[in-house]
Amino acid sequence: MDDLQLLRGMRSDVGSAPQATLARGRKQLLSRIDAGTGGGMPDGGSRRRRTVTRRVLLASAAAAVLVGGIVVADVVAPAGKPGATAEAAEVLNNAAAAAIKASDPVVKPGQYLKVDTRAVYSHQVSRSNGTTVAWLATQDSQLYVPADKSGEWVWNRTPRVPTTFFGQEAKAEYQNQEAFREKNPDPREPRLDGIFRGRAGAFYDSPPQIMGTPLLEAIRTLPRDPRKLLDLIYEKNGDKGQTPESQALTTIADSLRTGVIPADLRAAMYKAAALIPGVVVADKQATLDGRKGIALGIHWAEGKIRQDIIIDPGTGLMIGERMVSLAALDGIPANTAFGWTAVKTSVVDSAP
């Protein structure tokens, strides 16, 4: 008998709920329903939904495991000048203009928009001796979106491989985990690589979402007015762990890295980013996955983390996004891109 079988047997003699108990609970519920209360809990499920959204996003990169803090004062834009710094706003507004000018590639019937994504995830394992070890793993994927976006999408994900270990202990921990998993295969463990197919991008039981809205609907209906778009982003995000500003830029990064946001909405997102207080030009010569662009970032977690989006100023395309540690963070050294996604799009004639 293995550990799980033993555990399943433990306290399995606990009986089912007495009918009277269930009836009483039902009555309580109905009287609450009748009372017509509908207010949400303060911390509600919004945070949970947010995490889920991030996870299910097509090329979800490093889901940060850190809880954000308050943005330090020196990264907030000077009073009376709402929005990003003038320099960052200029880059973003120029990128928006370039995005509209360099129109999207045309996908003819029978062809596919191919989105090549390289995603780097961080794994952090905290151990009972109080230490945390961390490593980065990379996963490449290709998403094929048919000309008729309501048709079948194809998503090819290659296995996730560890690419950077922060120290020998991290490597040993990873090897331990792998050895354990090999010895204890788990039939319920989901497949993370291989070819996935789904109508309108519904690879699991539902379509991908951005900002809590199914992707295709979001592309159709999100406001193209930057102020309205940003307000909607703030509203949808609600009160999340990060600051509202850093969360807003993260939402924009999450949306853009799907690779399927059309030029007009992309432009609106850049302009919306230009309205976010605290957005700065983080690096004029940023390199991500071998491509160069300008990194625009915002600090959070008391200035320990910066979320960047990296834009090719010439084409207005987003090269990718990254999360950078500015101080050592639970096993991750300072000044490390500990989660990033690089995105490339092209038009191809066939899908696997």
Q: Which of 254, 322, 340, 329 is nearest to 66 (CA)?
A: 329
CB 274 within 8 A of CB 281: no
Min CB(304)–other proteins separation in Å: 20
> Of 266, 265, 279, nearest to 319 (Cα)?
266
How far, in Å, CA of 334 to CA of 337, rounded? 9
C-beta of 181: minimal distance to other proteins in Å?
A: 6
Nearer to other proteins, 22 or 334 (CB): 22
Nearer Cβ to other proteins (35/106) = 35
- Cα separation values, 62 from 21, 59, 74, 123, 307, Å: 44, 10, 26, 8, 11
Residue 133 and residue 91: Cα distance in Å, rounded?
37
Q: What is the nearest approach in angstroms of other proteins to the Cβ of residue 148?
A: 22
Considering the complex, state which of residue 57 and residue 317 has its C-beta at the smaller distance from other proteins: 57
When the beta carbons of 6 and 73 are compared against other proteins, the nearer one is 6
CB of 285 to other proteins, least distance (A): 32
User: Phi and psi for 268 in degrees, rounded to 5?
Assistant: -65, -35
CA dihedral sign of residues 226, 232, 233, 234 = positive
Kindly tell me which of 40 and 80 has the beta carbon lying closer to other proteins. 40
**Any idea what the Cα angle at residue 126 is, between residues 120 and 130, rounded to 5°?**
145
Rule CB under 8 A: which residues touch other proteins?
Answer: 1-4, 6-12, 14-17, 21-22, 24-26, 28-30, 32-33, 36-41, 44-49, 51-52, 54-56, 60, 63, 65, 121, 123, 125, 127-129, 173, 176-177, 179-181, 183-184, 186, 188-190, 192, 204-207, 209
Closer residue to other proteins (CB): 30 or 328:
30
Residue 319 and residue 290 in contact, taking contact as beta carbons nearer than 8 Å = no
**Closest separation in Å from C-beta 40 to other proteins:** 5
Rounded CA-CA distance 316/97 in Å is 7
Shortest distance, position 42 Cβ to other proteins, whole Å: 10
